[in-house]
Chain A
């Protein structure tokens, strides 16, 4: 195998090593004998020698500055191990919380399966709505609510529910008798589309009475309420058909407060379907503490991973 100018690669390596005195005495002697007779080989040796000398003639350059280290340069990178540990702990915590949530969901309801439950309730209740077209859902019409608005208004909702229950108990409202506007206010197009005309009436009356205006404060909240509105509405209608006077808060978040209110007021009509359904839905709060922890941990893991990679890249 030739490398250049008809010189085999092995010979080239030997010539190069010969130049540097790196051949064994036996090899050097053998190559010396060949060099005496092979002109091409000896010319290549001279060419390699000239090349090596040319490279050797490169001047030595003084360093631009001292490379002595300062304490700052070699300061231990404390942030990196800390970030690694924090990321690992956050990730482990996330896995544990999700695992716990899954375990809870297998034994009961969990924050993660709220939508299914809501849809399931909605599917079950739609025919009932059709069966009772003439019913007046005036006490209800309250959309289910998710998110922060619900949290913010939980106490208000509880009060409203308590008022509703008390009002219903006192008045024992008939089917055609509109409740005195305990239903919370509904604002926004989405909610309006889903609600029946009766619900709209209730909404108007509620708005007039100034109740529950904080329930839905934006279109977004109203859109979120779409999922929850039909069950609330239907349950209320069912209550009305059965002569159940209790005003239905109509939203899952409010349910707890409503149930407490019911318990406190001890409605004479006994336990309603709405109460039973709401009892089942009670643990499936859309923003349960467990879900909040999951979201928080996931966000923390993302942030910590980003920070760790950044610190690592900076070295």
Chain B
């Protein structure tokens, strides 16, 4: 409601300035007020929504839970994809995680919902990786599907630059997969998803010191790995990575 009111206020100030057909101070003021109000209010609104949806889902409302799923499925899937390194396996782990989350929703006792959810996602990934380790046979279809989606060429990007970027992505993915799953999860959560250390600690269920230590070592190993790709890397990154020593 507040979000809508702030948008209306911004729009009314904007339209009042429109007849003059130029950027007036009214318009600027309207944009500022709208943005200033909408930011915290929308966050607050989201939090309220999330809380209501969680409560609804906890009482067995599947629609409420599915709205949470739609909110978090991109995050959950990307974390799973970077941990698993395989699209199909990541999709399976994500689906399993959401099913587990729904069944275990009564155990959620507040705190960061996304950290709680991602803990289930990472655990599902670990389980799947352990299963694969026990049964290493991978079908030919799965092997051909191992290729993770690569970025499309940006507009205005030449074929050489696009190929170089593709190589870089491949190198980073390979190096990430070279880490142990526990180190990989921390690197993905901080460096790919931008989580802070506290939330990562909640997600992996370890103390803050462990997060710090794992992340530092993961980055050091990634750097060592990326150095081996040498010429494949863009010169800016290569020079910085190889600077020490």
Q: Which A residues are within 8 Å of any B CB, using their own CB?
A: 3-7, 9, 12-13, 15-17, 20, 22, 40, 43-44, 46-69, 71, 73-74
Question: Which residue of A9, A13, A63, A73 contacts B73 across the interface (Cβ within 8 Å)?
Answer: A63
Closest residue on chain B to residue A6 by CB atoms? B245
- Given the known interface contacts A50-B241, A74-B103, the answer about A63 and B151 at a Cβ–Cβ threshold of 8 Å is no
Question: Which residue of A20, A54, A69 contacts B69 across the interface (Cβ within 8 Å)?
Answer: A69
Q: How large is the interface on B (under 10, 10 to 19, 20 to 34, 35 or more residues)?
A: 35 or more
- B172/A64 in contact, CB under 8 A: no
CA–CA, A20 and B188, complex, Å: 14
Say whether B23 faces chain A, with CB atoms less than 8 Å apart: no
Known contacts A3-B220, A16-B212, A61-B148; can you find 12 more A-B pairs with CB under 8 A? A12-B220, A43-B244, A46-B240, A55-B172, A55-B187, A56-B194, A58-B82, A58-B169, A61-B149, A63-B74, A64-B91, A67-B98
- B73/A67 in contact, CB under 8 A: yes
- A17/B77 in contact, CB under 8 A: no
Query: Can you offer 21 A-B residue contacts whose CB atoms are under 8 A?
Result: A4-B224, A7-B244, A9-B216, A12-B216, A16-B212, A17-B216, A20-B215, A22-B197, A47-B223, A48-B219, A51-B222, A54-B168, A57-B169, A61-B148, A62-B74, A64-B77, A67-B95, A67-B98, A68-B73, A69-B98, A73-B99
CA–CA, A67 and B70, complex, Å: 7
Contacts of A50 in B (CB 8 A): 223, 236-237, 240-241
Closest residue on chain B to residue A60 by CB atoms? B78
Say whether B217 faces chain A, with CB atoms less than 8 Å apart: yes
A-B contact count (CB 8 A): 138
Question: Which residue of A3, A20, A61, A69 contacts B66 across the interface (Cβ within 8 Å)?
Answer: A69
CA–CA, A314 and B176, complex, Å: 31
- Given the known interface contacts A40-B244, A54-B168, A56-B192, the answer about A13 and B212 at a Cβ–Cβ threshold of 8 Å is yes
- A67/B77 in contact, CB under 8 A: yes
Say whether B65 faces chain A, with CB atoms less than 8 Å apart: yes
Question: Which residue of B91, B191, B220, B236 contacts A55 across the interface (Cβ within 8 Å)?
Answer: B191
Q: Which B residues are within 8 Å of any A CB, using their own CB?
A: 62, 65-66, 69-70, 73-74, 76-78, 81-82, 87, 91, 94-95, 98-99, 102-103, 148-149, 151, 168-169, 172-173, 176, 187, 190-192, 194, 196-197, 212-213, 215-217, 219-220, 222-224, 226, 233, 236-237, 240-245
- Given the known interface contacts A4-B220, A55-B222, the answer about A22 and B212 at a Cβ–Cβ threshold of 8 Å is yes
Contacts of A7 in B (CB 8 A): 244
Contacts of B176 in A (CB 8 A): 55
Contacts of B95 in A (CB 8 A): 67, 73
- Given the known interface contacts A3-B220, A12-B216, A68-B66, the answer about A43 and B243 at a Cβ–Cβ threshold of 8 Å is yes
Contacts of B73 in A (CB 8 A): 63, 66-68
The listed residue with most B CB atoms (<10 A of its CB), out of A40, A51, A56, A68, is A51
Whole-angstrom distance from the CB of A312 to the nearest CB of chain B?
14
CA–CA, A55 and B192, complex, Å: 6
- B220/A63 in contact, CB under 8 A: no
- A17/B212 in contact, CB under 8 A: yes
- B216/A5 in contact, CB under 8 A: no
Contacts of B236 in A (CB 8 A): 50
Closest residue on chain A to residue B236 by CB atoms? A50
CA–CA, A312 and B215, complex, Å: 36
Contacts of A60 in B (CB 8 A): 74, 78
CA–CA, A92 and B203, complex, Å: 43
CA–CA, A20 and B192, complex, Å: 13
Contacts of A46 in B (CB 8 A): 240, 243
Contacts of B240 in A (CB 8 A): 46-47, 49-50
Question: Which residue of A16, A65, A67 contacts B215 across the interface (Cβ within 8 Å)?
Answer: A16
Closest residue on chain B to residue A70 by CB atoms? B62
- B197/A20 in contact, CB under 8 A: yes
Whole-angstrom distance from the CB of B237 to the nearest CB of chain A?
5
- A52/B69 in contact, CB under 8 A: no
Contacts of A57 in B (CB 8 A): 168-169, 172
CA–CA, A61 and B94, complex, Å: 14
